[in-house]
Amino acid sequence: MAEEESELELDRFKKELETLLNTSTNDERGLQSKTYCERFCELVVEQTGRWQVPLPQLQVLRSALCSFVQGVASFPPECEHVRYTLSSLALSIFELLLFFGKDEFVEHPLKDILDSFQDCYASLVRHQNVYLLQVRHIIKDGGPWANPVLQAILKDSELPQEDVDKYLNSEVSIFFELRLRYLVACERLPEALALTRRCIRHSVVGRHLYFKQAYLICLWKASLHDRLYKEDSYDIMTRKYSSASTWLTSQVAVLHLNTDTCQTRSRSARSYSEKNHVVREGK
């Protein structure tokens, strides 16, 4: 879409959010959290789905978050529907920020979007949402890729284990998972392998099954079959984790039976944005 059309779409979206807010406020029963949050998420999903690139989607999420600040002003801090919606917004914003480097965080229009996010956070802090807080810290530090320890990890550099543990303890594991999914989708397999190795060795992050699965998938996609054998991946997947990933079990089994048939499939960052960077449905 052209820039002018983009602005028109965004204006229309803002009016829809305003209508939702006014309608809910005028309800005789008062502003109902479940009804409001569900309709809010529907509007955001619909609008972000019109785009396949990160920046316009971030602009949509900025408008959505600013409206949400007003919409939840009368809700109690412990409201479950607000918590789910804020978590979805925070994680969606983080996913989109993965497409931007540290230098872009100080440039317009991204800087304006991030400034708005910080302003909204100040109004939402009473809800004590851990994902929103995490995204705020990540933005202040220069973005998802700015941390020097993370940069060293991605380069597979030698690091004191204490530094690695401190960094991995600083974020909720879902943020490392989202980084890893992005790297795999962009076929940045050496970096993905380096990150997964650190994650699966961590006492807390390593408890999540996804990281072990992702490590084996990266080895497979990178055609590092010898290392797959050393990991005894077939035994791991069919015995320890069989109930969690039938698909991956079958794929690794095929790999062991006939390694010549294994091929790496490409997926571009644009495709990843189109399929994944949409606010999750509120519960």
Q: Write the pLDDT tens digit of every residue in 170-207.
A: 999 999 999 999 999 999 999 999 999 999 999 999 99
Domain assignment present for residue 271? The answer is no
| pLDDT computed for residue 218 by the predictor | 86
**pLDDT tens for residues 46-61?**
999 988 899 999 999 9
Domain assignment present for 279: no
Q: Give tens-digit pLDDT for 229-259.
A: 555 544 444 444 444 444 444 444 333 333 3
* Predicted structure pTM score: 0.79
- Residue 7 is assigned to a structural domain of this protein: yes
Asked whether residue 268 is domain-assigned, the answer is no
pLDDT at 169 over 60: yes
Confidence at residue 238, expressed as pLDDT on a 0 to 100 scale: 45
Closest to 69 measured CA to CA, from 6, 22, 102, 21: 21
Q: What is the pLDDT of residues 72-85, one digit of tens each?
A: 988 889 999 999 99
Rounded to the nearest 5 degrees, what angle is found at the Cα of 251, between the Cα atoms of 249 and 253?
A: 70
The verdict on 96 and 155 lying in the same domain is: no
Q: CA quadruple 19, 20, 25, 29: dihedral positive or negative?
A: positive
Determine, yes or no, domain membership for 249: yes
- For 112, 149, 165, the CA distances from 198, given in Å and listed in that order, are 34, 11, 9
Residue 226 CA to residue 60 CA, distance in Å, equals: 46
The total of structural domains in the chain comes to: 2
The predicted pLDDT at position 283 comes to: 43
Domain containing residue 180: 148-260
Q: Is 90 in the same domain as 57?
A: yes
121 and 75 within one domain: yes
C-alpha separations of 237 from 250, 258, 261 in Å: 9, 17, 19
SS3 content of the chain, % helix, strand, coil (to 5): 70, 0, 30
- Kindly indicate the confidence band of residue 70, based on its pLDDT and cuts at 50, 70 and 90: very high
For residues 141 and 190, membership in a common domain is answered with: no
Q: How far apart are CA 248 and CA 210, in angstroms?
A: 11
